[in-house]
A and B are shown apart, each in its own frame.
Chain A
Amino acid sequence: MKVIVPVKRVPDTAGDKVIDADTKTMDRDAGETVLCPVNEFAIEEAVKLKEATGAEVTVLLIGPDGAQSTIRKALSYGLDGAIQVTDDAISGSDALGTARVIAAALADVEFDVVIFGNQSTDARTSLVPAAVAELLDLPSLTYARFMEIDGDAITVHREHEEGWDVVESTLPAVVSVVEAINEPRYPNFKGIMAAKSKPLDVKSLADLGVDAAAVGAGDAAATMYAFEPRPPKAAGTIVTDDGSGSAADDLADWMEEQKFI
């Protein structure tokens, strides 16, 4: 079985995000970057498939030259190889543009299942997995909190407020996983050492036959008009009891006012 895990390089989740005022995009050179933490759950599912079936797992990253350290981090979990698509024209792509590049990269290789994170920790649109499935005309099994592959059949459980859906399809298929699906292991030191000798295939848009005009800021379907930093937290309301138990009433009134009850 061949598994592909698309992974994203994101700003360190502990640090502050910096938006460039001119381009209205995230300044990805400000501060440390890391492997998107959500992708660790996708990698864990892939590693489990590798352990159970000997699956060959390849990571796929769309990102600039400096992103190799993110690829090595992903490989350190014991994966087999990586594909990186890098091209100046990709810069500024929106979710659809990113999905086009990922779809083209997938169309160029063999695979049985693609395991995405259900979102990224920076842009968080959750659009990419479904868009890729649509572009490749493949079954889309998103928000999986459980997945199982049996022969060429795949089953996922998708949780929602009322319960969960059991979604089945045949392979090849596109899956996105939520963080509740597993508890990712830590990479071990042997995996870290092996990561640097794993093959990395670097491709350009031309290699994939993607028209540079179909991606990047120019062709983005989404336009960023304005951005604002999150306002500082306003001081909360303090309800004081006068000794008669008045606070309970006041609190209930306040909750009603706020339409909490």
Chain B
Amino acid sequence: MSGVRTDLAPTPTDFLDVRSMLDEQERLLVDTVRDWVGDRVLPDIGDWYDQGIIPAELAGELGDLGLLGMHLEGYGCAGSSSTEYGLACLELEAGDSGVRSFVSVQGSLAMYPIWAFGSEEQKQQWLPEMAAGRAIGCFGLTEPDSGSDPSSMRTTAKRDGDDWVLNGTKMWITNGGVADVAVVWARTDEGVRGFVVPTDTDGFSARPVPPKMSLRASVTSELVFTDLRLPGDAVLPGVQGMRGPLSCLNEARFGILFGAVGAARACYESALDYAGTREQFDRPIASFQLTQRKLVEMMVAVNKGMLVALHLGRRKDAGELAATQVSFGKMDNVAMALEVARTARSVLGANGITLEYPVIRHMNNLESVFTYEGTNEIHTLILGQALTGINAFT
């Protein structure tokens, strides 16, 4: 038996040495994404956030890095493990949730359904372009009156000869206004089905949602379909019913449960750094017990969230991950991150409310992350049902 060592001093930024649990390839990936975020996102993200923009060229850069649809195989995709996809999301979200959202939507919500349920022609047409970041995708499920209960959707697709005709409105659609292709879920005579909709089709329009205070470096749109006519082969042939959109959401939620840890880590590190340099009462604020408690609680929360994420990643790679376990990770890691962001915000005092520091940006972003991809409440009820066998939704 080995003893406990007193000569080791864990680093404050990876206290449990989770890096030691990553293999060489995972470390190379993490370092590469972190470098890119450090060079390309962090220097300007405050301005982008302020202006409410995300530069279009990031799509091509993310494609060059091989991060778009990275966990899919073939069609120009890299075929990474799920853990690797998660780790990439984590490093991207340590930059900004908007950048991670872009990658989640492109890879897990737009490319994944084409890859999993699409025809060979649909895959050939869209996946290589989307993997390269030359074509941007979006995912239309939520509607103005249909959020947590997506099966109440009103958008319809009706047969007209061989064609399909779409009518309806989708709301809160990430990348909607910049997308080349939308994967749209609509009610048909055969139940809910998915459609691959080029956004230059007549009858398609997109407009921004009301001004946002969260996820500002991300495009969020309302999509309106007015007698939008599609050829018969625009439907995703491989799936019918709510299983289609829900399986996409499971992929994206998995990325989010990693991503949230990145946002939390960025907030904690910002607070740790600030507390060591900011002086009040002639001492660094890190020397006050109340501040130390905050720092320690944030550090512990981030490390625990990291362990949960990595564990769920390994289970997914082993083919053993339950959808309810994804709910565990999404619910708790995002709640953890939001709590850490708020605590970090308090450590930074007045500076904490500015875009000079990352914390309030992450804090505001995490409000969206808390709500999208299944709200915190919905995941709680999924887990409640898993524990008790009782459905408390309806």
Which residues from chain A sit less than 8 Å from chain B, CB to CB?
Answer: 68-69, 72-73, 76, 185-193, 195-196
Contacts and interface: CB of A to CB of B under 8 A. Distances in A.
Interface stretch (B62-70, B122-130, B150-158, B249-257): B62-70
Given A186-B36, A192-B32, A193-B80, A69 B27 contact: yes
B25 interface: yes
A195 B28 contact: yes
B29 interface: yes
A196 B65 contact: no
B65 A72 contact: no
Contact of A188 (B25, B27, B64): B64
A43 to B, nearest CB: 14
A196 B23 CA distance: 11
Given A193-B78, A193-B80, A186 B64 contact: yes
B273 interface: no
A61 to B, nearest CB: 15
Contacts of B35: 186
27 contacts: A69-B24, A69-B28, A72-B24, A73-B28, A73-B31, A185-B64, A186-B35, A186-B65, A187-B32, A188-B64, A188-B78, A189-B32, A189-B65, A189-B78, A189-B80, A190-B78, A191-B66, A192-B25, A192-B28, A192-B29, A192-B66, A193-B78, A193-B80, A195-B25, A195-B28, A196-B24, A196-B25
Contacts of B80: 189, 193
A188 B65 contact: yes
A187 B36 CA distance: 10
A17 B368 CA distance: 43
A70 to B, nearest CB: 11
Contacts of B88: 189
A189 B29 contact: yes
A73 B67 CA distance: 17
Interface in B77-105: 78-80, 84, 88
B66 A72 contact: no
Nearest to A73: B28
Given A186-B65, A188-B65, A72 B78 contact: no
Contacts of A76: 28, 32
Given A185-B64, A189-B29, A189-B78, 18 more contacts: A68-B24, A69-B24, A69-B28, A73-B28, A73-B31, A186-B64, A186-B65, A188-B64, A188-B78, A189-B65, A189-B88, A190-B66, A190-B78, A191-B66, A192-B28, A193-B78, A195-B25, A196-B25
Contacts of A191: 66
A69 B27 CA distance: 10
Contacts of B29: 189, 192
B355 to A, nearest CB: 25
**Interface of B, helix, strand, loop or mixed by DSSP:** helix
Contacts of A192: 25, 28-29, 32, 66
Among B65, B67, B79, find the residue whose CB has the most chain A CB atoms closer than 10 A. B65
Contacts of B24: 68-69, 72, 196
A188 B66 contact: yes
Nearest to A188: B66
Given A192-B25, A196-B24, A186 B32 contact: yes
A230 B220 CA distance: 52
Among A68, A187, A192, A193, find the residue whose CB has the most chain B CB atoms closer than 10 A. A192
A189 B27 contact: no
A192 B87 CA distance: 14
A189 B70 contact: yes
Nearest to A75: B28
Contacts of B70: 189
Interface in B42-80: 64-67, 70, 78-80
Q: Which 8 A-B pairs have the closest CB atoms?
A: A189-B66, A188-B66, A189-B78, A192-B28, A190-B78, A190-B66, A188-B65, A186-B36
A76 B24 CA distance: 11
B11 to A, nearest CB: 10
A209 B13 CA distance: 46
Contacts of B67: 189
Interface string B1-43: 0000000000000000000000011011101100110000000
Among A186, A188, A189, A193, find the residue whose CB has the most chain B CB atoms closer than 10 A. A189
Contacts of B36: 186
A68 B66 CA distance: 23
B106 to A, nearest CB: 14
Contacts of B84: 189
A68 B32 CA distance: 17
Nearest to B63: A188
Nearest to B80: A189
A191 B67 CA distance: 12
Among B31, B36, B70, find the residue whose CB has the most chain A CB atoms closer than 10 A. B31
Contacts of B28: 69, 72-73, 76, 187, 192, 195
B208 to A, nearest CB: 31
A109 B382 CA distance: 62
A186 B58 CA distance: 13
A72 B79 CA distance: 19
A76 B28 CA distance: 8
Nearest to A34: B31
